[in-house]
Amino acid sequence: MLLLSLLPFAPIATLTSAVSAPLSPPSLLPSKMLCGRLRPGRARLSTLAVRNSHIGQPTEYTHPHLVAPGELTPGICSSEYSKRRERLGSLLPAGSVAIFPSASIGWMSHDVPLPFHQSADL
């Protein structure tokens, strides 16, 4: 996606070849994206198949040097999280609910949210 925003005047063939690399993980399916190419006096739109972005939590596909296969976070596998949830559920009385509060949204100004940063005091 960054490539498309940096090269708005590149020929469509260049953009197509740049984003048509084979997808490595099966979870990253191609999506349709509108790409505008402007010429003096007129505009042209075409669709390109591009990869879904790799924004978010690292995975074994995007960060193999950090996350091993089967892990959700570095050093902790998915079965460990499942065991933790089961253990917590077994400790709760029947019919109860566990509520985990999250951080409140901070604001830098009237309409600009403050990005969340984990507290170092935890």
- Looking at residue 15, its pLDDT comes to 42
Average pLDDT over the chain reads 68
Q: What is the pLDDT of residues 80-122, one digit of tens each?
A: 999 999 999 999 999 999 998 877 778 888 888 887 777 777 5
pLDDT over threshold 70, residue 47: no
| Range 2-7 average pLDDT | 40
DSSP string, 52-118: PP--SS--TTT-TTTS-TTEEETTEEHHHHHHHHHHHHHHSPTT-------PPPEESSSS-EEPP--
pTM for the predicted model, two decimal places: 0.40
Q: Which residues contact 33 (CB under 8 A, 6 or more apart)?
A: 1, 4, 47, 48, 49, 50
Structure tokens at 60: 């074994």
